[in-house]
Amino acid sequence: MTVIHVFPGQGAHRVGMGKELFASYPHLVRQADALLGYSIEELCLRGPAERLSDTRYTQCAMYTVGALAYIDRIRTTGELPDYVAGHSLGEYVALFAAGAFDFVTGLELVARRAGLMADAGPGAMAAVLGVTADEVRVVLARGGGPQVDIANLNAPEQTVVSGPPDDIAAAVSLLKTETRGAVVPLKVSGAFHAWPMAPAAREFEHFLAGYRFAPLRIPVISNATARPYGDAETAALLVRQLTSPVRWTESVGFLLDQPEPDFHELGPGQVLTGLISEIRAKRPVPAGVAS
């Protein structure tokens, strides 16, 4: 059996998350509060929801809850995973789990990332459900199309597009007209994992130059490559992640190819568990295997 821990990202957050964890790890909570300058427990448990949904706060809260959930899982089971992976912000929790950096260093990185992403200017995102990413690309490329990027490849028929607000509005209209899928605007304020994040990526690259990352003790699957990180790639892949699509379908496909994969989602909600089930269900049946 291959034990795999996966960590959700922004969007899985909710008021009340982590309530079963904070009391058990007061020393880490105090460290987080000292770094951030506010009570992370108060934010997660009581919000308000508007503040918790602000990128500057959401990412720090999700990282903290994910890291505490991982620590609690290891303390409870005594079992280390064979692989770890996270969706977008969740990749920082995966890197913490693998030993790339300690809890506080990871929170420093996340806080800076969140600030840069929030300051990158207005943007928008929309999910396209029920059609493949290739179909989305064909429609968007027709006649030049709006200036949007594929941001998340979440499942075989769940794709997220990202870009400036006017371009996303045009893309939503075009996709609703020319595909059979459902198109759902997302409640975000930025064009994450797309070309408008390029200035943030450059600033983040300069910031990461001041850090040195430890060799990974557990393989981490990169959002940008859908393959395990190399030890010398940590900073480069974290920079690349800001403007590259989250290749979640391919990442899960790689993990499903491991012997007897056993997934455990750690953090609020079960969004990734649902995506993994969808990806597994749509994988081709190997030749000679009864369906």
Q: Could you give the residue numbers annotated as active site?
A: 88, 193
134: which residues sit within 8 A by CB, 6+ positions away?
Answer: none
Report d(CA 197, CA 189) in Å as an integer.
12
**Do 129 and 184 contact (CB within 8 A), yes or no?**
yes
Residue found by looking up tokens 């557990």 in the block = 218
The Cα–Cα gap between 197 and 117 comes to 7
The helix (run of H) or strand (run of E) holding residue 154 is: strand 149-155
> What is the Cα–Cα distance from 65 to 268, expressed in whole angstroms?
8
| Residue 166 structure tokens | 């006017």
**CB within 8 Å of 274: residues ≥ 6 apart:** none
Rounded CA separation 57/113 (Å): 11
CA distance linking residue 227 with residue 153, whole number of Å: 15
* Spatial CA neighbour of 184 closest among 143, 131, 144: 131
CA pair distance 6, 252, nearest whole angstrom: 10
